[in-house]
Amino acid sequence: MMAKTKIVQVASGTQLVNSHLRESYEVLALWEQADPQAFLAEHGKGVRGLVTTAGHGLKNEWLDSLPDLGVVSSFGVGYDTIDAGELKKRGIQLGNTPDVLNACVADLAVCLLLGSARQLVWGDRYVREGRWPVEGQFPLAQSVSGKNVGIVGLGGIGVEVARRLAGFDCEIRYHNRKARDDVSYGYEASLTGLAEWADYLVLTCVGGPSTHHLINREVLLALGRKGTVVNVSRGTVIDEAAMIELLQQDKLGFAALDVFEHEPDVPSALREHERVTLMPHSASATVETRLKMSQRVVDNLDRFFETGQVISRVV
């Protein structure tokens, strides 16, 4: 019998991922080890693949103990917890799970936007707490139809957000590092200029050092009291302290957030603010999408060992 290819699994995955890895590979379960670094130093030689998640990532110090590593397959589209540059330098391919989650994340972005605009969460509480008969008519909310929507990061998810909001007769503009020639939406080279124009600023850009606090105090002030910031990208993209301060000073209208700077810790100032709508980093968290993501994780791994190339290649 041929020996199975040896891989490291950083964290326990979905049922599909776990069962496929057990059946097809010799799996070293890193999450079960008290000292992962020492374990890899002893057992890392001969490991050809590594499976991880966007949340758990990959530590650079592990790599010296994995001299035969050829591929990393990560569950999630973001890779800010993985040093892609270091992997490229070492000739290690990195595969992630884009595209299969675009529609799902875009759905939640629009859900957050609509929920914030129409004050869905507060309206629900207003009814449940019996306040309607006592306090009377619920305060007026905001319309979405016909409004200006700025999208920061017009990749696969951003395009899906734009397509959905076009159905609300919204005007769409976007900010990227450079303009795209394959879309008809207006391009805004200035992020502050986009924020000044927008009623809703939707963040669908990548995380990591290149976008750290991209949405800073200046941008949030430009969005202003009339504006709503919607974040389904990474919590580090927004200067969270500045956002809280501006919300408290009534210099920023609303925030609708699926991600936070220090997850899972969310500041009480956000949790208690009536103009903030919150979700627990779950934009891709549907049964259907997680199944597709799981399949892509194992397909990336299998395809690398079959052809030398992952399907969804980052580097």
Which residues carry out catalysis?
234, 263, 281
Q: Identify the residue whose tokens are 């859900």.
A: 111
Q: Give the E-state strand segments of the chain in sequence order.
A: 6-9, 26-29, 49-53, 71-75, 93-95, 148-152, 171-175, 186-187, 200-203, 228-231, 254-257, 276-278
Chain CA centroid to CA 173, Å = 21
Is residue 260 within 8 A of residue 235, CB to CB? The reply is yes
Is residue 9 within 8 A of residue 289, CB to CB? The reply is no
Chain CA centroid to CA 283, Å = 7
Q: Give the E-state strand segments of 98-205 in sequence order.
A: 148-152, 171-175, 186-187, 200-203
Distance CA 141, CA 20 (A): 49
Q: What is the DSSP letter of 48?
A: -
Distance CA 95, CA 39 (A): 24
Q: What are the residues facing 150 on neighbouring strands?
A: 173, 201
Distance CA 282, CA 107 (A): 11
Q: What is the DSSP letter of 101?
A: T
CA trace torsion 85, 88, 94, 98 (10° rounding): 60
